[in-house]
Amino acid sequence: MDFDFFSARRPAPIATEAMIATSHPLATAAGLKILTAGGNAVDAAIAAVAVQCVVDPLMTGIGGDCFALYAPKGGKVTALNGSGRAPAAATVSALQAAGLSDEIPQTSPHAVTVPGAISAWCALHEAHGSLPLEQLFASAIHYAEDGYPVTPRVAMDWAGVASLVAQDPHASALFLPGGAAPKVGQRHAQPLLGARLREIAEKGAAGFYEGDTAASMVAHLRSLGGLHTEEDFHAGKDAAIWVDPISTPYGGHDVVECPPNGQGLAALLILRILSKFDMGDGLSEADRIHLHAEATKLAYHHRDALIADPADCPGVVEQLLSDEVVDALAARIDMTRALPPALWDEPEHRDTIYLCVVDGDGNALSFINSIFHGFGSTRLDPNTGVLFHSRGASFRLIEGHPNAIAPMKRPMHTIIPGMLCKDGAAVMPFGVMGGQYQAAGHAAFLSGVLDLGQSLQEAMDAPRSFAFGGELQIEPGVSQEARDSLEARGHKLSLQSSPIGGSQAIRITPETGFLTSGSDTRKDGCALGY
């Protein structure tokens, strides 16, 4: 394939041994350092995500949640659910008594479920890690204590949510030095976060979920009106669980996702619907966008109504991926007009980090860590430096709804790592950031790679669209001809001023063993290997 070196597209890096791709250059460098020191995929991912919790604080943190798909070379893919649970005292009636009615606001203490990320990191490390946490956290601790330079995309996103951060005095003191978001190239530090990482490296998950750190976090959340107890946090140490992934065939491969409570099922449903159409080169740009939009609306309508903690949505995977359901949904798509907007009742959010690693032994890891909204709940415990996520905002306050808040329940999650397999073996860990967009983004990216034969970077760089909230969001790269055609079909177009999502992927070529990667130009990050 000839490459246009005059285009803005970056050439895809190719490596022979190992590779890591993240959305931040310092995270990628930290992971590569571990790989070259003899660490494996899990070691590198933990090192990278720890750095990203420091240097991209509005997107992720130790006070968030995590999901992962791990594939040993030639082995079965396993899924790790690192999402936290609601406090034992959390019920619809309790939150209504506290003055909430329709939804849980982002900044409410009730939006804070017990964070699951550290439980997941430690479970992953215990099962598959090879180097000590002290070594894996070294780069992150250095940046937390000595400072790191703010990169361009991080600076843009940071400034965009500064007014919200300013409403919490503790978050404002840390994240708005001098009363403003840091500029590109400005040094920023989080010394208390460095102390937390040292504590976790020494004590494991207990360093976060027990002792003085847990007591301080609980006391702060309760001072804000939260229902959390130290017992809730103690139980959170074991929140992460290994589960069987779910999958569907597409384009001669198997697409593997984490099961509910994540929205990976929605990604598989979109792909199942698209598989009923010829998605090859014969489609016009407008037809392709239209099909993706209509399949997305159908899948997300069912996601919002049915996906929740797995204990509250039994059988939903088999039901939604059945031929009967998929055929009925595909038959609803009219190529000449847009369907009426589907029901959307999830709060909008865009803030997550995704990374993937393939190590020298051929083990592959797809890994995602999130605090939900930008800077999560914006609630920061001043004694520990932990910024809490806002994942509980996705709970419903409707009795009987599958995703209604309840004691020790996991909320529906949007963060989803992906894995592409061929003949039973993993050939590509991949992921797409962007909150609501993630399931739709998985389908669009895979269609580009598998239906159009695009390189990973080409599929990532292609202009994006997203049917959301009664509108069809489009990036500026969508042609005017396609825009006119889409509007004629009834789509209400919304031209986006900021990029839709981001993505990373690493493809394994079985014939050569070489690794090829793509890293989204919409973010600061990159892929590196050796």
Tens digits of per-residue pLDDT, 262-272? 999 999 999 99
- State how far the Cα of 85 lies from the Cα of 208, in Å rounded to an integer: 15
pLDDT on residue 139: 98
pLDDT on residue 344: 35
In this model, does residue 330 exceed pLDDT 80? yes
Q: At residue 53, what are phi and psi to the nearest 5 degrees?
A: -60, -25
483/319: higher pLDDT: 483
Share of the chain above pLDDT 90, in %: 88
3-state helix, strand, coil in the chain (%, to 5): 40, 20, 45
- Report, as an integer, the average pLDDT of 406-415: 94
In this model, does residue 7 exceed pLDDT 80? no
Q: Can you list the domains of the chain with their CATH numbers?
A: 19-242+354-394 (no CATH), 261-348+434-521 (3.60.20)
pLDDT single digits (tens) 294-321: 999 999 988 888 889 999 999 999 989 9
Task: Give Cα 106 to chain centroid, integer Å.
Answer: 17
Assess contact for 12 and 105: CB atoms under 8 A. Answer: no
pLDDT single digits (tens) 506-518: 999 988 989 999 9
- Most confident of the ranges 76-85, 299-308, 348-357: 76-85
Q: Picking from 155-169, 345-359, 413-427, 444-458, which range would have the lowest pLDDT averaged per residue?
A: 345-359
Q: What is the pTM of this model?
A: 0.94
**Which amino acid would we find at residue 242?**
W
pLDDT single digits (tens) 204-254: 999 999 999 999 999 999 999 999 999 999 999 999 999 999 999 999 999
User: How is residue 104 written in tokens?
Assistant: 């849980």
CB atoms within 10 A of CB 211: 15
Assess contact for 90 and 69: CB atoms under 8 A. Answer: no
In this model, does residue 346 exceed pLDDT 60? no
Question: Token pair 């285009």 is at which residue?
Answer: 7
Burial of residue 9 (CB within 10 Å: 0-12, 13-18, 19+) is middle
Assess contact for 33 and 357: CB atoms under 8 A. Answer: no
Whole-angstrom CA distances from 135 to 19, 39, 129, 228, 246 are: 19, 10, 12, 32, 34
Query: What is the set of active-site residues?
Result: 352
Q: At residue 296, what are phi and psi to the nearest 5 degrees?
A: -65, -45
CB atoms within 10 A of CB 335: 12
In this model, does residue 351 exceed pLDDT 80? no
- State how far the Cα of 149 lies from the Cα of 352, in Å rounded to an integer: 20
Task: Give Cα 286 to chain centroid, integer Å.
Answer: 28
